[in-house]
């Protein structure tokens, strides 16, 4: 069995040298990795096909299979994201909050890496590259534990990462990979607080709960999105339909995809029939509030069903959309407070005061005005990539990228001062 203790020790040892590596060396490793991905796209897709075939054999859902699939286009996109990371400023060594104290001491904060980050994730092999690239650029060693459903994909991607690190003369031990799917190893990993500084689980609610309850390492949770869009009575309805379509169907299997539309009662009679007609053509089925079903004269059928009490607490990850009528902005905000996971929620409106109130009162990691929830993504928000979307308040919130993978230390310089 894999020696988790030694693996963590190796990561901790290697992290010291990486923390001192210059930006040029780190960027060179990222550039080499981008070239390797492009040169080896066919081999990567071939290994990924093994995972997809096995997933189908095991009966995994279409949503999960979509998450684990790598196409040539997706591999090229991953390589492009790496180049975006290269162009981002290196946060390590940034100085801020500088000042001279009354006693003459010169104090400043200096940004430094966290140290060693462990990431446990499911289904999405692109996370292997995203996490490794951001950890490298921010000077952190990383321990990767992907799911058994992506083992072939992850093995070849880690092979490419280590090739790039060696070519850039960086200790390849800064990226560790747990290629044994045994859950006992995860239990061991969660107790390695003497070597690991932060743990990030990326997966379902069960994984998050298990890590929170069993880890002795600080845990950053997030990535579970029950996302809402509220259509205000002042909204441009045709534009709203296009935003809703994008948020729902562009990639329904990801955490920032739309789950529930809340519609003001004054426009529900106009918007909802149009919305159902438009999105039904894209294969979307609907869970509609019972009162709205009655007022619109809708009858249950294959694509339109009455919403059950659990439907508004479901992250669909598929082409299913909840629709509920609300009487006011206040009711919409209350519904979101009761059912949102604090990931991504938005308002579609032409009323500036309603927009201001929504952004002030809705307590989510990312709050939108007249935009799709699909923009909750590190690459879309100018961060290059992300290691996770945090929905908690401590340390980081929203897409976590380079700066969120650092902390700081105080540097205080004096002239042999002593405290009186």
Judge if 119 and 173 occupy the same domain.
yes
Q: How confident is the model at residue 279 (pLDDT cuts 50, 70, 90)?
A: very high
Q: How confident is the model at residue 41 (pLDDT cuts 50, 70, 90)?
A: very high
Judge if 239 and 190 occupy the same domain.
no
Query: Is pLDDT of 389 > 80?
Result: yes
CB 267 within 8 A of CB 235: yes
101-119 pLDDT, tens per residue? 999 999 999 999 999 999 9
Tokens representing residue 393 in the block: 């308040």
CATH number where 105 lies: 3.40.605.10
Number of domains in the chain: 2
Q: Is residue 40 part of a domain?
A: yes
Q: What is the mean pLDDT of the chain?
A: 94
What is the model's pLDDT at position 392?
A: 86
Torsion sign, CA atoms 13, 14, 19, 22: positive
Judge if 152 and 252 occupy the same domain.
no
What is the model's pLDDT at position 23?
A: 98
Q: Is residue 91 part of a domain?
A: yes
What is the model's pLDDT at position 46?
A: 98
361-375 pLDDT, tens per residue? 999 999 999 999 999
Judge if 35 and 145 occupy the same domain.
yes
Percent of the chain predicted with pLDDT > 90: 83
Tokens representing residue 13 in the block: 């040892």
Q: Is residue 384 part of a domain?
A: no
Neighbours of 167 (CB within 10 A): 16
Q: Is residue 383 part of a domain?
A: no
The residue-averaged pLDDT of 282-308 equals: 92
The residue-averaged pLDDT of 88-99 equals: 96
Q: How confident is the model at residue 385 (pLDDT cuts 50, 70, 90)?
A: confident
Q: How confident is the model at residue 138 (pLDDT cuts 50, 70, 90)?
A: very high
Judge if 301 and 397 occupy the same domain.
no
What is the model's pLDDT at position 202?
A: 87
Judge if 68 and 188 occupy the same domain.
yes
Query: Is pLDDT of 414 > 90?
Result: yes
Q: Is residue 253 part of a domain?
A: yes
Torsion sign, CA atoms 19, 21, 25, 29: negative
Q: How far is it, in rounded angstroms, from Cα 22 to Cα 10?
A: 21
Judge if 232 and 210 occupy the same domain.
no
What is the model's pLDDT at position 298?
A: 87
Judge if 151 and 235 occupy the same domain.
no
Query: Is pLDDT of 352 > 90?
Result: yes
140-196 pLDDT, tens per residue? 999 999 999 999 999 999 999 999 999 999 999 999 999 988 889 999 999 999 999
Query: Is pLDDT of 209 > 80?
Result: yes
Q: How confident is the model at residue 72 (pLDDT cuts 50, 70, 90)?
A: very high
pTM of the predicted model, to two decimals? Answer: 0.85
Q: Is residue 71 part of a domain?
A: yes
What is the model's pLDDT at position 36?
A: 98
Q: Is residue 381 part of a domain?
A: no
Judge if 300 and 323 occupy the same domain.
yes
More confident residue, 65 or 394: 65
Judge if 197 and 264 occupy the same domain.
no
Q: Is residue 134 part of a domain?
A: yes
Judge if 371 and 326 occupy the same domain.
yes
Judge if 126 and 246 occupy the same domain.
no
CATH number where 363 lies: 3.40.309.10
What is the model's pLDDT at position 124?
A: 86
Which residue range forms the structural domain that includes residue 27? 4-221+392-413
218-244 pLDDT, tens per residue? 999 877 899 999 999 999 999 999 999
């Amino acid at each position: 069995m894999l020696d988790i203790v030694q693996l963590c020790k190796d990561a901790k040892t290697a992290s010291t040298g990486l923390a001192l590596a210059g930006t040029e060396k780190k960027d060179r490793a990222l550039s080499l990795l981008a070239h390797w991905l492009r040169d080896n796209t066919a081999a990567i897709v071939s290994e990924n096909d093994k995972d997809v075939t096995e997933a189908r054999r095991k009966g995994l859902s279409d949503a999960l299979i979509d998450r684990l699939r790598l196409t040539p286009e997706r591999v090229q996109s991953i390589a492009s994201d790496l180049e975006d990371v290269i162009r981002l400023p290196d946060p390590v060594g940034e100085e801020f909050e500088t000042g001279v104290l009354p006693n003459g001491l010169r104090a400043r904060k200096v940004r430094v890496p966290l140290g060693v980050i462990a990431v446990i994730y499911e289904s999405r092999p692109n996370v292997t590259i995203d996490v490794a690239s951001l950890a490298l650029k921010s000077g952190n060693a990383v321990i990767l534990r992907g799911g058994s459903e992506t083992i072939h994909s992850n093995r070849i991607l880690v092979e490419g990462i280590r090739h790039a690190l060696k070519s850039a003369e960086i200790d390849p031990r800064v990226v560790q990979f747990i290629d044994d799917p045994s859950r006992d190893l995860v239990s061991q990993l969660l107790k390695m607080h003497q070597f690991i500084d932060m743990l990030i689980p990326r997966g379902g609610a069960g994984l998050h709960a298990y890590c929170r309850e069993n880890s002795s390492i600080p845990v950053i949770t997030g990535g579970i999105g029950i996302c809402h869009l509220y259509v205000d009575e002042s909204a441009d309805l045709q534009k709203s339909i296009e935003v809703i379509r994008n948020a729902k169907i562009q990639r329904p299997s990801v955490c920032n995809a739309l789950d529930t539309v809340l519609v003001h009662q004054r426009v529900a009679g106009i918007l909802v029939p149009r919305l159902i007609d438009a999105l039904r053509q894209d294969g979307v089925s609907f869970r509609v509030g019972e009162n709205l079903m009655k007022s619109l004269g809708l009858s249950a059928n294959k694509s339109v069903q009455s919403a059950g009490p659990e439907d508004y607490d479901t992250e669909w990850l598929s082409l299913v959309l909840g629709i509920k009528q609300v009487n006011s902005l206040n009711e919409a905000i209350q519904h979101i407070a009761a059912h949102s996971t604090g990931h991504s929620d938005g308002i579609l409106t032409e009323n500036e005061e309603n927009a201001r109130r929504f952004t002030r009162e809705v307590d989510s990691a990312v709050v939108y005005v007249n935009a799709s929830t699909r923009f909750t993504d590190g690459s879309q928000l100018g961060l290059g990539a992300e290691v996770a979307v945090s929905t908690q308040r401590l340390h980081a919130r929203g897409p976590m990228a380079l700066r969120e993978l650092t902390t700081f230390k105080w540097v205080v310089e004096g002239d042999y001062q002593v405290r009186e």
